[in-house]
Structure 1
Amino acid sequence: MTWMPAGPAILFVPADRPDRFAKAATAADMVILDLEDGCRPENRAAARIAIAECDLDPATTIVRVNPPGTPEFAADMEMVRTTAFRQLMCPKAEGAASMEVFAAELPDAQVIALAETALGVMCAEETAASESCVALFWGAEDLLASMGGVSSRFADGVYRDVPRFARAQVHLAAAAHGKAMLDAVFMDIQDSVGLQSEATDAAALGFAGSVCIHPLQVPVIRAAYAPAAEQVQWAEGLLAAAADNQGAFRYQGRMVDEPLFRQAQSILNRARVSA
C-alpha cells in the first residue's frame, strides 16, 4: 500500500464555497473539494476557478470531479491540469474503464474510486486492480438510490444487510490489491455516539480513514482511530519481544505469531498518524 491519507478525518467541502476552503483544511486531516453532488450545477464554472486559484496544499487536498463520460468531467479535468492537484476522487466508479479515463486524461493522477452504485460495488475488485486507483471509498446513500431503495439504515442506525455487504465487498477488493480504504460518511451530524461507534469499527477493520461532512465530526473520527494507550503499550512490547524470538511464541499468556505482529504494527502506525 503506497498511498495513505494524511490522517483519518477527511472532510468534504462544496467547491462552490471557497470561503470554507481554508477553515476546512485547518480543521481536518485532508479536504475533498467537491465539484459533484456537493456543488450546485449552475455554480460549477465558478467553482473550478475557485479551485484553480486557491492556495490549499496539494498533499492534503482531494478534488472530487464529476463522473467520467459527462461534459462536466471534461471541464473539471481541463481545470485540474492547470493546477498542482493530483489526488482526485472518481464518483460512480464502475470498473477498469472508469480508471482508464483518468490514466488517459492525467497519467500522474492518484485516483480514489468511489463505489456507490450496484455495478460499482460488484466491479470493485476490477477497479482496485487499476494502477491509477490508489484507494477505494464507498457510498451507502447513492448505492441505495441506484437500487430504488429509500433507507440504508435501520431505526437504530445500524446498516441494513445490502450496505453492510457493500462495505465489506469494497473493503476486501481494496485490501486484495494493496489499496487504502475509506469509510462512508455518517450523515447524522448530531449523533456523535453513532459516528464514534462506526469510526471505531472502521479503524479496527483496517480502514485508512473516514470521510465526513461537518467539522464537528473531525475530532470524533480522530479519537476513534487513535489507539488506546494500553494498545500502544501492548504493540510496542510485542514487537520488542518478537525481535528476540523466532516464529510463534508466548507473550502475556497468549500464543502470538506473524498475523499478530502485523496487527501490532498497524496499531503503532495509527498511533503515529494520530500523534
Structure 2
Amino acid sequence: MQCSQSPPSNIHSAPSQRRSTWLVTPASTPDRFEAAAESGSDVALLDLEDSVPPDGKKAAREAVIACLSQSGGSVGSGHTVLGVRLNALGTVHGLKDLEAIAESRARPAVLVVPKVESARDVEIVAKIIGAEDGQRRVWALIETPLGIQHLRTILKAPTLAGVLFGAADYAAAAHCRLNSRALWHPRSVLAAGAAAAGLPAIDSPHFDLRDSDGLKREADEAAELGYLGKVAIHPRQVPVIRESFGPTPQELATARAVVAAADAAHGEITTVDGHMVGPPLVAAARALTARAGDVPASTPFTEARSE
C-alpha cells in the first residue's frame, strides 16, 4: 500500500471550509487506505474508534502511525488530506492513540476527537500534540446532548479547527430515532453555533449505503442549515455529497454577477436583474464564488478563525 506522497505546498493552509467531503475508513483495514486517498474526497479520515473492534485497536494504531510517518499529512495524487479519528479521551485506547501520535511526531492535517463535551477535551489534545506551530488541527465531534449544551464554551477553544455532528451516538444518548426530523434541533444548533464562532461544521454520515436518495436529501438539508460538508462512509457517496455542497452553474453565475455589480457600485446598493443587492447578499455571493475557486472572499471563516 502506497500511503506516501509529496505533500502539496498548501496542505495546511487550505481553508477548512473548502473541505466538503470527508471519507471515513476503518484504521484496521490499511489495504483500503490507498483507495480512500484516491477517492477524490477532501479528507481521508482514518477511524480508530467505532469501526475498530477492541482486539484490533493496537494493530490499527500502528497502521495509522506508519501512514502518518510516511505521508507527511497528504495522501493520494490530488488534494486529499489525511485525518485521524481518535478513540474517546476517557478511554484507555484514546489515551494510547494520543500518546502514539505525540511520540511519533507525525501530525495529521485533521485530528478528530469524539464525544467532546468540554473545551478542555480540545485543549488537552492540542497541548499534547503540540499546537505551537499555529496550525488548528483539532476537530470536535459533538455527539451527545451534553456536548450540545456545552457547545458555546467548546467553540471558544482557541485551538479548535471545526466541529462535526455525530448523529448515531447523539440519537442513542438522547433516546430518539435516527432520522432527520428527530435530529433537526441539534443539527441546527451546531451549525448556527459554529457559524457564530467563525468555524466550519461538517454533518454526520448517512448510514444506509443503498439509499442514495436519502443521502442526497440529508446532504441538501445540511447545506441549507449551513454545514460546509458531510462525512461519507463509502467512496460512491463522495460525488453525491460534493454536488450538494457545491453551487449549481446558475447559482455561480448569479453570484458572479452580484460580485461584479457590487464592485462596480463601489459600496453603494445596486441591482442585478431587477433585484436589489445590499451588503448581506454581496457577502453571500463573495463567499460562494470563493468556494468555487474565484478570488478569496472576506467571510467570517477567513477573518475570524483563519487557519
User: How high is the TM-score relative to the length of structure 1?
Assistant: 0.90
Greater shift after overlay, 242-251 or 253-262? 242-251
- In the alignment, structure 1 residue 234 sits paired with structure 2 residue 270: no
Q: CA RMSD in A?
A: 1.9
Structure 2 vs 1, CA of residues 247 and 107 (structure 1 numbering), >3 Å: closer, same or farther?
A: farther
Q: Which residue of 1 aligns with 2:52?
A: 39
Amino acid paired to 1:137: L
Indicate if the aligned counterparts of 2:43 and 2:82 stay in contact, CA closer than 8 A. Answer: yes
Map 1:96-175; keep pairs closer than 5 Å: 96-108=119-131, 110-149=137-176, 151-153=177-179, 159-161=180-182, 163-175=183-195
Indicate if the aligned counterparts of 1:87 and 1:110 stay in contact, CA closer than 8 A. Answer: yes
Q: Which residue of 1 aligns with 2:61?
A: 48
| Candidates 64, 67, 73, aligned match of 1:58 | 73
Aligned residues with identical type, % of pairs: 33
- Aligned-partner Cα distance in 1 for 2:92–2:244: 39
SS at match of 1:169: helix
Q: Which residue of 2 aligns with 1:18?
A: 30
- Aligned-partner Cα distance in 2 for 1:145–1:247: 51
Q: Which runs of 4+ in 1 moved over 3 A?
A: none
Q: Which residue of 2 aligns with 1:198?
A: 218
- Aligned-partner Cα distance in 2 for 1:4–1:21: 22
Amino acid paired to 2:118: G
1:6: how far off? 5.2
- CA deviations over 1:165-215 (Å, ceiling 9, x no partner): 000111111111111110111111111122112212323443221101111
Indicate if the aligned counterparts of 2:24 and 2:231 stay in contact, CA closer than 8 A. Answer: yes
- In the alignment, structure 1 residue 249 sits paired with structure 2 residue 270: yes
5+ residue gaps, structure 2, are 1-13, 75-80, 295-307
1:236: how far off? 0.9
- Aligned-partner Cα distance in 2 for 1:42–1:132: 32
Q: Which residue of 2 aligns with 1:156?
A: none
Count of paired positions? 266
- CA deviations over 1:110-159 (Å, ceiling 9, x no partner): 1110110110111112111101211011111101111233x222xxxxx1
| Candidates 91, 94, 105, aligned match of 1:73 | 94
Structure 2 vs 1, CA of residues 7 and 99 (structure 1 numbering), >3 Å: closer, same or farther?
A: closer
- In the alignment, structure 1 residue 219 sits paired with structure 2 residue 239: yes
1:5: how far off? 5.5
- Aligned-partner Cα distance in 2 for 1:262–1:193: 32
